[in-house]
Structure 1
């Protein structure tokens, strides 16, 4: 299982615990649920970022909750590395909220996730 919220990777008992910065700006911020479970449902090697793992957000309940608030639930929510060509930034990327609803990690962390996390892996997102 992957767990995301806000700081660094720790791998314990086959689990990645990842307090990370999640960019929840615009419509995503108002639609994001306090705590939800999803899955890594596919991966993109040809992303505009250093690799990307797609999170199965939004589900039907997320879409309906956002609609009731007059918001878009968003989509294309990914865990990804740095924008291609900017891997040198490393952990400095944490100094700013630069994603639009995605979870950004260093390219090194993304390489580890890419190898270790198969499609179908549960992921729990917590603020």
Structure 2
């Protein structure tokens, strides 16, 4: 079974098949990378266990695969704070304008376009993704 592990503080994403490491990728995050996403517009990437829930071959960020944020816990936490949880969190490529910038997304995980080609080919809808601080 394929799975993805994301280590935000190391800016390292691992693609695994069962216990075998297939590939490691470096990436950029949102403009506020520390901490779990708590509300729309906070620039953070969520932390926790999610699924890849959609694929977009026509993304304006080269290619993209969607992360199932927000889940029911995320929604409940946001409601308790009186805010909206946000959404549309993806792993995607990097437009030319952002190639030399660090942490420029709104909470997504951005890899190089060539790497996104590999990831898109190997990761299917339903793949588990674990995002760690």
For Structure 1 versus Structure 2, the TM-score category normalised by the shorter chain is 0.7 to 0.9
Q: Which segments of 5 or more consecutive residues in structure 2 lack a partner in the other structure? A: none
| Root-mean-square deviation (Å) | 2.9
Contact kept? 2:37, 2:47, Cα under 8 Å: no
Shift in CA distance, 57/15, structure 1 to aligned 2, threshold 3 Å? farther
* Compared CA separation, residues 115 and 18, structure 1 to 2 (3 A): same
Partner of 2:29: 22
Cα distance between partner residues in 1 of 2:105 and 2:98? 17
> Which structure is higher in helix share?
1
Show the counterpart of 1:2: 4
Report how many aligned residue pairs link the two structures: 120
Q: 2:108 — aligned with what?
A: 102
For the pair 1:118 / 2:120, whether they are aligned, the reply is no
Greater fraction of residues in strand: 2
Q: 1:38: which partner in 2? A: 50
TM-score, normalising length from structure 2?
0.74
Q: 1:30 to 1:110 in 2, by over 3 A?
A: same
- Quote how far apart the aligned CAs of 1:51 are: 0.3
Provide TM-score, normalisation by structure 1. 0.77
* In 1: Cα distance, 2:98 partner to 2:83 partner: 36
How far did residue 87 of structure 1 move?
7.9
2:80 aligned with 1:74:
no
Q: Aligned to 2:51, what secondary structure does the other structure show?
A: strand
1:54 equivalent to 2:66? Answer yes
